[in-house]
Amino acid sequence: MIKPKRKPTVSEVASHYDELDRFYREIWGDHLHHGLWTTGRESQTQAVLQMTELVAREAEIKPGDAVCDIGCGYGATSRVLARSYGSKVTGLTVSKAQYDYAKQQCKNRRNPRFLLRDWLKNRLLKGSFDAALAIESSEHMPNQWTFFSEAHRVLRPGGRFVVCAWLSRDHPSESEERFLLEPICREGRLFAMGSETEYRRLLKAAGFESIRFADFSARVKKTWPTCIRKAAWHAVKDPEFRRFLWKKNSANKIFAKTLFRMWAAYEVGSLRYGVFTATKGGLGQARKPLKKAKAI
């Protein structure tokens, strides 16, 4: 595992997203995760929706399924799953700004249900979900073992688990770790960044079966030059954004540098984007493997 020189606290992770709330929504949008480009010509909006659709397919979400969205952000994925797939969704986030926004978007509706709660202390009932998903949230968990074991606990037998994660390559060089991977963890308030091998080991140790993996790095990396262009536009046109960048007492403005580190890390292969699918034993059946991702 790649770990930052100084581990953040859960409250610092929440503060990171709270302080950057407006800029995240304006640069990334409501979905707050990588886009998936299949042709390379999609808009960012189309690409992030395609990532959500990929996760829904891998989780085999059906009408009436109880779904847990771990680290739901602004609730955009939860809303799509509830509206377009007919599932009953519970989303969790530690960010008050994200929670408030998600609740506002679902005003007067009971589905999705959002909780301002730490996943590692989620207090959800054992065996209460048909599917669980974590789109780029596992990296923010202080204890990886508890993250995976809690997902296993809340799923019913045969329940499906999908994890989309930022991953390091196996055995990165010292320079890759020093100049790219460790700073990405530190600046992005990540507790750790694992490799494919490490995530497989954790999934197996937590009790998951039928573990599968696909690398979508080539299809998601366009996210970062797209976000850099948007950030540059805001730096020129938005006085509030410029004031934030010059703000002396902000611990989170350094994330602007992380945009460039992420882009570079994908380009040199230090950083990978992986999608894992796994099943809780009991009623699960073997499924066909994910199609190998092709470069565009």
Sorted by where each begins, the domain ranges of the chain are 10-280
Burial code (b: 16+ CB inside 10 Å, e: under 16) for 272-281 equals bbbbbbbbbe
d(CA 236, CA 32): 23
pTM: 0.88
Contact 194, 168 (CB under 8 A): yes
Degrees to nearest 5, angle at CA 74 with 59 and 23: 130
- Classify residue 81 by its DSSP letter: H
Does domain 10-280 match CATH 3.40.50.150? yes
**Reading across the β-sheet that carries 88-93, which strands appear in turn?**
113-116, 88-93, 66-70, 129-135, 155-168, 271-280, 208-215
Q: What is the DSSP string of 253-284?
A: TTHHHHHHHHHHHHHHTSEEEEEEEEEETTT-
Structural tokens at position 157 = 């037998």
Per-residue pLDDT of the chain (296 residues; tens, 9 = 90+): 999 888 888 888 888 778 777 777 777 778 889 999 999 899 999 999 999 999 999 999 999 999 999 999 999 999 999 999 999 999 999 999 999 999 999 877 889 999 999 999 999 999 999 999 999 999 999 999 999 999 999 999 999 999 999 999 999 999 999 999 999 998 888 999 999 999 999 999 999 999 999 999 999 999 989 888 887 776 677 676 666 655 666 555 556 678 888 999 999 999 999 999 999 997 544 334 444 443 33
